[in-house]
Amino acid sequence: MTETPVKLLLVDDEASLRQPLAEYLSRQGFAVIQAEDASRARSALLEDVPDLVLLDVMMPGEGGLSLCRHLVETRDLPVILLTAKGEATDRIVGLEIGADDYVVKPFEPRELVARIRSVLRRASRAVPAAADEDAGYAFDGWQLDPLKRRLTDPDGTVVPISTAEFRLLVAFLDHPRQVMDRDRLLDMVQGREAHLFDRAVDNQVSRLRRKIEADSRDPKLIQTVWGGGYRLACDVTRTAPAD
Amino acid sequence: MRLSPRSLQGQMLLAVALALLAAQVIAGVFLYRAAAARAEAEVVNALAFQMIGDVRDPRARWRERGDERRGGFAQRRRALALSLIEDGLQGRRVRERDREQALADVLQSQGVDTEDLIVLAPIGPEERQRLRGGRPGNGTAIVIAGLRETGGESWRIAAHELPRFTGNPLRGVLIQTLILYVVLVGGLALLLRRITRPLAALTARVENFGGSTVDGPPLEPSGPDDTRRLIEAHGRMEARIAALLDEKDVMLGAIGHDLKTPLAALRVRIESVEDETERARMAATIEDITRSLDDILSLARVGRPSDPLERTDLAALVAGVVEEFEDMGEPVELVASERIAAPVRATWLRRAVRNLAGNALRYGGAARIVLAREGKQAVIRIEDDGPGIPEGQIAAMLEPFQRGEASRNRETGGAGLGLTLARAIADQHGGTLTLRNREGGASGLVAELRLPI
């Protein structure tokens, strides 16, 4: 690590978690600023601009979600929420108000570091306008709501898919009718830190086919391209973000 | 099938109908008796009138002598009547003492002195026909009476046909009863409906009451005041229960938060433990506590889910769970599956299937899952090759904190809430969870999750 350390702002009212987490993250090479509530976080932001904010959702006084909205709207800072709640609705609310990711307490510290790196990498990449990111996808009668990760078939039936399948599907939907080779898909789906075999992509593709193809042995939507790769064989339209 | 109604409306209507019937029967009896007395008086008066008329009307003397102009017919009639009276006097024919008495009273009041008075029992239509030599009559009975005045020689004969009993007064009562039934019972039925309909709505409401927000606005009070007050009181009770449940959820959220934060702190702190195996063990313990905590919190919340039912492809959902196990290298296999869409809460149902498959793995070493449609139900069947459960303990296994072994060793993991939670999730979807041992030789447990489609 020769470059300047990444600056993190850690906001959590529980000193028993905040302090050891700050120490751990420092050992991992981050520069950590601590704040025990939202108002202190706001004043810390005036002095120094962090690269990423780790934010506890449940805090006395101003809550984490409110501060998160402020950070996303006025500072355009990447935010990872720390939440004790495991319910899907809480996560969706967090993502909807613009958090980049969330971890559920108690989290594995190494997983948190991986998420921080992944969010930073995404933030550093020149991504399309944020509004576009939330727009829904429509293809061949299907709908995908990226915020809720909700895939519905032409009848409106929800088809549950895993995170990996969701990322794979988004990769296809962002590049309709293009041939995507395994390396490219792996890069888009897993990120660079994952050292997976090519087979992993094939496996995910076959799982995704099982869920969205009428007959997974005779796929019509995701076609295999001879010479290595896959292609989404239909057009995609973007829809306005669902409610 | 039972015939006596059990509902308020049915019982009330039956009671009113029976009471009405009883009253009408009594009224009918009185009417009948009055009509009978009237008919009797008519008979006696008619007989007396004929006898007195004989005395006062000279033209009627043919009755005594047998009128020339009426020829032999009247004579024959008179002779026949006299022979019958003779039979009565000799005791060969039944006399009617009551009528004789009544007739004597009437004659006395009219100043007729009687020496002998006889009233024969009515002669029925058949006998009449026989006496008339086989010529059919008009089908009525006839009463024949004879009178001999004091000092008189000959008999005065009177005959009166008994009015045929037509049941007219009873028909009136019947029509009246029918009208009463239609008006009273019908009106009462309408009135009772006004009372029972809000009660039925209230019953449905109470039965479906889950304390969740999907119950909609409180029931609008309707019907009579008593019912209104009941509905209002129920509304207030619903609100109190909802408040209690809300409080419980808030409390559980707080407990979850308060326990998970120190667990998170602990999880971060153990990263500084040098010994790798020791650290892994600590991490596993924390994970275990977290899982148990999650199970307990879920079990407390399962009856009051915050997410709505959504039509979901069960094949994709079950496949997703199987793939999670595949990724961990666990032998969980999706044996058969078909596309079934059912209204479910995906996060909850996924958890139930995960728990059942995890159980099968833990006790049976492997899990085979089948998703099939059976009638109006979707069946998710999870089968293992383990030892199964002794028949007597199957029900107990669904209770909280029960595990296969008597010892609650941590080796097998979990707080023993997996099956309880799975069953609660089945309930939440209006479905069922049943456990049974495999049939036909091979040991193993079959867990069957049935969901309405």
Indicate the residue of A85, A105, A155 with minimum beta-carbon distance to B341: A155
Task: Name the closest residue on chain A to residue B343, using Cα atoms.
Answer: A157
Q: Closest partner residue to B269 among A20, A156, A157, by Cβ?
A: A20
B405 and B312 in a common domain: yes
What residues of chain A lie within 8 A of the CB of B313, using their CB? Answer: 153, 157-160, 211
**Spatial separation of the C-alpha atoms in residues B414 and A217, rounded to whole Å:** 39
Q: Could you tell me if B268 and B397 lie in one domain?
A: no
Q: Which residue of A has its CA nearest to B266?
A: A17
Specify the pLDDT at position B95. Answer: 84
**Structural domain ending residue among the three candidates B279, B306, B333:** B306
Q: Which residue of B has its CA nearest to A163?
A: B320
Are the CB atoms for B448 and B381 separated by under 8 Å? Answer: yes
pTM (2 d.p.): 0.62
Residue with tokens 């938060």: B257
pLDDT of residue A199: 60
Chain B segment 310-349 residues within 8 A of A by beta carbon are: 310-313, 315-317, 319-320, 323-324, 341, 346-347
Distance CA A203, CA A216 (A): 13
Q: Are residues B243 and B367 in the same domain?
A: no
Looking at the structure of chain B, the number of domains it has is 3
Task: Measure CA of the first residue to CA of the last residue in chain B; give whole Å.
Answer: 31
pLDDT for the residue numbered A33: 92
Q: B115 and B53 in one domain? A: yes
CB atoms A105 and B346 under 8 Å: no
Structure confidence at residue B451 as a pLDDT band (50, 70, 90): very high
Query: Between β-strands B156-161 and B341-344, what pairing exists: parallel, antiparallel or unpaired?
Result: unpaired
Q: Supply the pLDDT for residue B213.
A: 47
pLDDT over threshold 70, residue B48: yes
Please give the C-alpha separations between residue B182 and each of B12, B96, B177, B194, in angstroms, as whole numbers: 15, 45, 9, 18
Q: Is A21 helix (H, G, I), strand (E, B) or coil?
A: helix
For B261, which of A84, A157, A158 is closest by C-beta distance? A84
User: What would the two tokens of residue A220 be?
Assistant: 């019509």
Q: Is residue B174 a part of any domain in this protein?
A: no
Instruction: Report the CATH number at residue B435.
Output: 3.30.565.10
- Structural domain contains residue B5: no
Which of B260, B310, B317 has its CB closest to that of A106?
Answer: B260
One domain for residues B247 and B328: no
ipTM of the complex: 0.71
Q: Which three-class secondary structure state does DSSP give residue A4? A: coil
Does B373 lie at the interface with A, CB-CB under 8 angstroms? no
Q: Which of B43, B38, B40, B49 is nearest to B147 (CA)?
A: B49
**Block residue for tokens 């007989």:** B47
| B406 has pLDDT over 60 | no
Residue among B260, B310, B319 minimizing CB distance to A158: B310
- What does the alpha-carbon distance between residue A130 and residue A122 come to, in Å, rounded to a whole number? 12
Q: Is the pLDDT of residue A100 over 90?
A: no
Using CB atoms, pick whichever of A16, A85, A88 lies closest to residue B262.
A16
d(Cα A18, Cα A39) in Å, to the nearest integer? 16
Containing domain of residue B316, as a range?
307-452
Among B306, B333, B357, where does a domain finish? Answer: B306
Average pLDDT over residues B317-340: 87
What's the CATH architecture for A132-239?
Answer: Orthogonal Bundle (1.10)
Residue B1 lies in a domain: no
- Which residue in the block uniquely carries the two structure tokens 């009551």? B98
In chain A, residues under CATH classification 3.40.50.2300 are: 7-124
DSSP states along A202-224: HHHHHHHHHHH-SSTTS-SSEEE
Least trusted range by pLDDT, from A74-78, A89-93, A163-167, B75-79: A89-93
Residue B193 lies in a domain: no
* Residue that terminates a domain, selected from B122, B145, B161: B161
**What mean pLDDT value characterizes chain B?**
81
Which pLDDT band, with edges at 50, 70 and 90, does B409 fall under? very low
Of A14, A87, A161, which is closest to B320 when you measure between CB atoms?
Answer: A161
CB contact (8 A) between residue B313 and residue A87? no
* A205-213 average pLDDT score: 86
Contact assignment for A162 to B347 by CB distance below 8 Å: no
Query: Using the beta-carbon criterion (under 8 Å), do B307 and A88 form an inter-chain contact?
Result: yes
State residue B71's pLDDT score. 56
Assess if residue B204 is contained within a domain.
Answer: no
Q: Nearest Cβ partner of B313 from A17, A21, A159?
A: A159
| Range list of H helices, B57-91 | 62-65, 71-89
pLDDT, tens digit, 9 for 90 and up, residues B372-398: 999 889 999 999 888 888 887 787 777
Stretch A106-124: mean pLDDT = 85
CA atoms of B158 and B444, how far apart (whole Å) = 104
The whole-angstrom separation of Cα B312 and Cα A211 is: 12
**CB-based contact B316 A87, cutoff 8 Å:** no
Looking at the predicted structure, is the pLDDT value of residue B229 above 70? yes
CA–CA distance, B453 with B439 (Å, rounded to integer) = 27
In chain B, residues with a C-beta closer than 8 Å to the C-beta of A105 are 260-261, 263-264
The 3-state DSSP class for residue A121 equals helix
Chain A residues at the B interface, defined by Cβ less than 8 Å, are 14, 16-17, 20-21, 23-24, 58, 82, 84-89, 105-110, 153, 155-162, 207, 210-211
Q: What is the mean pLDDT of chain A?
A: 81
What CA–CA distance (Å, rounded) separates B379 from B296? Answer: 26
The topology under which CATH files domain A7-124 is Rossmann fold (3.40.50)
Q: Which residues of A touch B267 (CB under 8 A)?
A: 106-109
Cis bond upstream, residue B198 (ω within 30): no
Residue B172 lies in a domain: no
Residue A154 has pLDDT above 60, yes or no: yes
Rounded-to-integer distance, Cα B202 and Cα B196, Å: 10
Q: Are residues B446 and B349 in the same domain?
A: yes
Phi, psi dihedral angles at B278 (to 5 degrees) = -60, -45
Cβ neighbour number for residue B7 with a 10 Å cutoff: 12
Inter-chain CB proximity B311 and A108 less than 8 Å: no
Rounded CA-CA distance B294/B354 in Å is: 14
Q: Higher confidence at residue B343 or residue A131?
A: B343
Q: Give the H/E segment covering residue B361.
A: helix B346-364
Element (H, E) at B146: strand B142-149
In chain A, residues under CATH classification 1.10.10.10 are 132-239
Model confidence band, residue B139 (pLDDT cutoffs 50, 70, 90): confident
Residue B412 has pLDDT above 60, yes or no: no
With a cut of 70, say whether residue B167 has pLDDT above it: no
Alpha-carbon distance B270 to nearest alpha carbon in chain A (angstroms) = 10
Residue B190 lies in a domain: no
User: What proportion of chain A, given as a percentage, has pLDDT over 90?
Assistant: 11
Task: State yes or no: pLDDT of A1 exceeds 50.
Answer: no
Q: Taking CB atoms and an 8 Å cut-off, how many pairs form between chains A and B?
A: 93
- Neighbouring residues of B297: CB distance < 8 A, sequence distance ≥ 6: B252, B255, B256
Give which of A23, A81, A105 to mutate to test B binding, by max B Cβ within 10 Å: A105
Residue B1 — very low, low, confident or very high, per pLDDT cuts 50/70/90? very low
Decide if pLDDT at B57 tops 70.
no
Q: What is the 3-state composition of chain B as percent helix, strand, coil, each rounded to the nearest 5?
A: 60, 15, 25
Within 8 A of B324 by CB-CB distance, chain A residues are 162
| Coil vs helix vs strand at A236 | strand
A44: which residues sit within 8 A by CB, 6+ positions away?
A9, A33, A35
CA B288, B293, B299, B304: dihedral to nearest 10 degrees?
A: -140
Nearest CB partner across the interface for A161, out of B263, B267, B316? B316
- pLDDT of A129: 46
Are both B266 and B333 inside the same structural domain?
no
Asked whether the beta carbons of residue A106 and residue B263 sit closer than 8 angstroms, the reply is yes
* Choice between B280 and B416, residue whose per-residue pLDDT is larger: B280
Which pairing describes strands A31-35 and A7-11: parallel, antiparallel, or unpaired? parallel
Does residue A196 have a pLDDT over 70? no
Residues 6+ apart with CB under 8 A from A112: A54, A80, A103
**pLDDT on residue B368:** 92
Top residue of A13, A16, A208 to mutate, by most chain B CBs within 10 Å, is A16
- Choose from A235-239, B131-135, B235-239 the range with maximum mean pLDDT: B235-239
- Measured between CA atoms, the residue of chain A closest to residue B265 is A17
Q: How far is A45 from chain B (nearest CA, A)?
A: 25
